[in-house]
Structure 1
């Protein structure tokens, strides 16, 4: 009985840890999706700005306007590079959270296996006791009939 209670406690803790790890994984995935959306927006904005730049070049552009366009494109490229690094970090966090969740899930499942084995062992002992009691009852019945 004490073993079963200890295993049940371990299972409850493992379920709690697994649920928390799943929540952390979900948050990491959501954060990564947000970072990806920001990167996509930056890239779209850069493409739009480059298109406007090309159009401005075709209609004529002053040297200072050209310089301003070029400086802004450089800043956008820097922001895109930074956001790509943030995205890589977010993907790394997803993998770490996924590994933690998988580890917690394995632990929970192994405790479940232990609980199942303990239950089977207890049932086998109980069946053996019942069989012994039935055998003794049958033996007594035969003795009383004589």
Structure 2
């Protein structure tokens, strides 16, 4: 494959890699955002439970206690849903990371191939130059001798 074609292919791979990196970074930011929401909701639930216990120590009507329990149940459900969203966001971020790393690996392999091709061409050019210099030296030798 010609060197120019390989270089064009590397450029194309680099563009794809850049897009995948941006997608990975977006997915990672989304995961972190989802995790922060989960952490905030969990902290709110903990605070709410503590407040409920404090109020319960001073006496509370059964109706009010049931309302607190219902709200805690809703918080638990929201936490469960948010945990699922966190897991999905994490899986998406990990998938994007794998795609990005795979594209990076392909690009690096192409760059290595280009480097080898350049070394091969340099060695070929050096041999041709040496051959030309040998021919010139041989011709000069025979001119002096004759």
TM-score normalised by structure 1 residue count: 0.96
Taking the aligned partners of 1:134 and 1:66, their CA distance within structure 2 comes to 100
Residue number in structure 1 paired with 2:67: 68
2:60 counterpart SS class:
coil
Q: Could you say what the CA RMSD is over the residues aligned between the two structures, in angstroms?
A: 0.9
Q: How does 1:79-98 map to 2 (within 5 A)?
A: 79-98=78-97
1:42 counterpart SS class:
helix
Could you give the per-residue CA deviations for residues 42-75 of structure 1, whole angstroms, max 9, x where no partner exists?
Answer: 0011011101110111111111101110100000
Number of residues paired by the alignment? 145
Shift of 1:19: 1.2
Gaps of 5+ in 1: none
Q: How does 1:1-146 map to 2 (within 5 A)?
A: 3-146=2-145
Taking the aligned partners of 2:42 and 2:117, their CA distance within structure 1 comes to 58
1:60 counterpart SS class:
coil
1:61 counterpart SS class:
coil
Could you give the per-residue CA deviations for residues 103-133 of structure 1, whole angstroms, max 9, x where no partner exists?
Answer: 1011001100110111011111101110110
Shift of 1:17: 1.2
